[in-house]
Amino acid sequence: MLSETRTRSRRLSGKVQIAACPQNREFSDRQKRFYAKYASVTFKTLESPLFQRFLDWIMRRENIEERLVASVQVELFPFRGENGKGLAGKYNSRGEIVIYPKRLEFCRRLVKDFEKEMVYFYIKARAKATMIHELLHAKYSNDEAKVRRLTRKYFTIFARHEGARNVNADRIVDMIFMQ
């Protein structure tokens, strides 16, 4: 599966960027540093060659045209939806995928339950799952149930291929899909 994509182009590579954000007075300098680091980890995760090849594979398998994704923006700060819950990402009709970070408070609680390495694993896994989810919205925009089912399926395939070596990895993945 992934080996057959090694010679193909990475169609979404170069479309991923960290969004330039105006000064946000709502956050302290410490929070801004945290979110800048979070955005950097997310960006590097989404741009990794292995993950880019996997996204290409999904696009071919699901017949998702490259033109349906104009850009991928990694936002610096979290966003709460109309329901008050934090939003992981969104896809709009202009073909823009936006990825948002988890709130600092959530990550602090995660550090209490896990090692710091697991927090990084969570951030990377959440970024990949969100990217897969929003990419699938490019084709299945009105079928949230199908998008969720396919997201879990494809993320599981990638995680198995990547070979998550941490005993808490399954617990973290469950956390991502339970939210």
In the predicted structure, residue 9 carries a pLDDT above the cut 70: no
- What is the residue range of 145's domain? 3-178
Q: For residue 37, what pLDDT band results from cuts at 50, 70 and 90?
A: very high
Q: For residue 6, what pLDDT band results from cuts at 50, 70 and 90?
A: very low
Share of the chain above pLDDT 90, in %: 49
In the predicted structure, residue 85 carries a pLDDT above the cut 50: yes
Order of strands, sheet of 89-91, starting from the edge strand that comes earlier in the sequence: 16-18, 71-74, 96-99, 89-91
The pLDDT value given to residue 91? 94
Q: Which amino acid is at 23?
A: Q
Q: For residue 153, what pLDDT band results from cuts at 50, 70 and 90?
A: very high
In the predicted structure, residue 169 carries a pLDDT above the cut 70: no
Secondary structure class of 72 (helix, strand, coil)? strand
Average pLDDT score over residue span 8-26: 73
Report pTM: 0.86
Q: What is the pLDDT of residues 92-120, one digit of tens each?
A: 999 999 999 998 888 888 888 777 888 88
Total of domains in the chain: 1
Mean pLDDT of the chain: 84
Q: For residue 2, what pLDDT band results from cuts at 50, 70 and 90?
A: very low
Q: For residue 89, what pLDDT band results from cuts at 50, 70 and 90?
A: very high
8 Cβ contact list (under 8 Å, min separation 6): 53, 56
Burial 73-102 (b: 16+ CB within 10 A, else e): bbbbbbeeeeeeeebbbbbeeebebbbbbb
CB 72 within 8 A of CB 133: no
